[in-house]
Amino acid sequence: MSTKMVEGKTIISARINGQTSDFIAEPRDSLLDVLRENLQLTGAKEGCNNGNCGACNVIMDGRLVNSCCVLAVEANNTEITTIEGVGSPDDLHPIQESFLENAALQCGICTPGFIVSTKALLEENPNPTEHEIRYWLAGNLCRCTGYDKIVRAVQDAATRMQEGSK
């Protein structure tokens, strides 16, 4: 039988934010568990832990996913972008600048998920309509802003990024 089996702890290797990372995980650990607890990448947040809120969103092999609904063992040999890979305090991504300048956050718990989701959106659709933005971000919940400022920040980020790429 050529079935790869994992029982107990195993070493997982993934490219996370451009760097190869090896970490130890068990089959029941989620990707979110290992990002936060093994790799100290605490930007992704545990909100609902069941795929509803989007606070833990990361980009895995080019697709937006809820990291709480991915097993860490499934991340072996994948490429992952977390909020830590989007920008840094000294070098903010245009999406992060737009969120700050448009006051698109209050408590901030949902913000990493929104920014990662927005990055995935603008990579696929650089000039989305308001409807497309709201539809794409339907899986990200924010209980503070009422969403309007977030939508405006995404529109602003799209403009900045298109001007930046000219």
- The helix or strand, by DSSP H or E, that contains position 56, with its residue range, turns out to be none
By beta-carbon proximity to another protein, the closer residue of 53 and 104 is: 53
Q: Which of 84, 80, 105 is nearest to 93 (CA)?
A: 84
Question: Hey, which residues between 56 and 85 contact another protein (CB under 8 A)?
Answer: 57, 60, 63-66, 68-71, 73-74
- Among positions 129, 138, 143, 162, the unique one binding another protein when judged by CB under 8 A: 138
Token pair of 146 as six digits: 């009422």
The yes or no reply on residue 140 touching another protein (CB under 8 A) is yes
The yes or no reply on residue 28 touching another protein (CB under 8 A) is yes
Stretch touching another protein by CB under 8 A, among 16-24, 46-54, 80-88, 142-150: 46-54
Distance of CA 107 to CAs 3, 143, 144, Å?
Answer: 46, 9, 7
Please report where in the chains the tokens 């509803």 appear, as a residue.
Answer: 52
19-25 and 10-16 as β-strands: parallel, antiparallel, unpaired?
Answer: antiparallel
Q: Tell me 88's DSSP state.
A: B
- Among positions 13, 24, 51, 148, the unique one binding another protein when judged by CB under 8 A: 51
By beta-carbon proximity to another protein, the closer residue of 92 and 147 is: 147
The SS3 assignment for 69 reads helix
Residues that bind another protein (CB under 8 A): 1-8, 26-28, 30, 49-52, 54, 57, 60, 63-66, 68-71, 73-74, 117, 120-121, 135-140
